[in-house]
Amino acid sequence: MSVNPSQNSSAPKPSSRTTAGERARAATRTRLLESGRTLFAENGLHRVTSHDIAAHAGVAAGTFYNHFSDKAALFREITDEALRELMKSLESAADAGADHRQEVRQRASALVGFAAENRELIRILFSRETDATTVQSDVLQHMASRASAVRKSLIHEGSMPAEIDPEVFGQALIGMWARVVAWWAEDTDRASREVVIETLTQIQLHGTHPNHNDPE
């Protein structure tokens, strides 16, 4: 049976007031997140209050609590999103057809590129704040596990010495990478992006005394 469009003319329509209210609420939440990211990156979690964030976002102090239970909840949402973005960037850099040298360079490039484009997020992710430690640990452990797996593969192939423990290598390497990237993100004029990528790549592949006669 066909339906006459006019039969539905009395059906409830979405409230434009509700839709506008939802848009306004979403916009306010976005401003709070952006303000939190800026202030946390500049001052750290413990030197920023919920009132600071609300004022920076241009909303009343009480409005903050309509969106977040406290500043720690806002901080965690920012760091969770930063972690997802960084992990996505690192994973997308992995080329299944690349050899280990190409993969190392691709990941170094992805990490440095992410740092260049998201300097505030890098400062938050790799801050020394206690509340950032768990997030930082998630990032570093993911990267260290990957570096360790690559090292194990190279030892199995006979391309790398077995005396260097892969797990210790992974932790040491990624700790160094994180420190370098955090240092560079504070002031990208300290070195060019290409220099940072090349240095991180060469240290992972050859250590601090490159031997270009290593097996290809």
Q: Two tokens at 16?
A: 């434009």
Q: What CA–CA distance (Å, rounded) separates 17 from 21? A: 6
HSE-CB for 73 with a 13 A CA cutoff = 10
CATH topology of domain 16-68: Arc Repressor Mutant, subunit A (1.10.10)
Kindly list the domain boundaries of the chain, sorted by start residue. Answer: 16-68, 75-206
Q: Has residue 49 got a pLDDT over 90? A: yes
Task: Report d(CA 99, CA 63) in Å as an integer.
Answer: 52
133-168: pLDDT as tens digits: 555 666 677 778 877 887 888 788 887 778 888 888
**Residue range 193-199: mean pLDDT, rounded:** 94
Q: What is the pLDDT of residues 124-141, one digit of tens each?
A: 877 665 555 555 666 677
Rounded distance between C-alpha atoms, residue 203 and residue 209, angstroms? 8
Enter the CATH code of domain 75-206: 1.10.357.10
**Average pLDDT, rounded, for the chain:** 80
Answer for the pair 32, 70: CB distance below 8 angstroms, yes or no: no
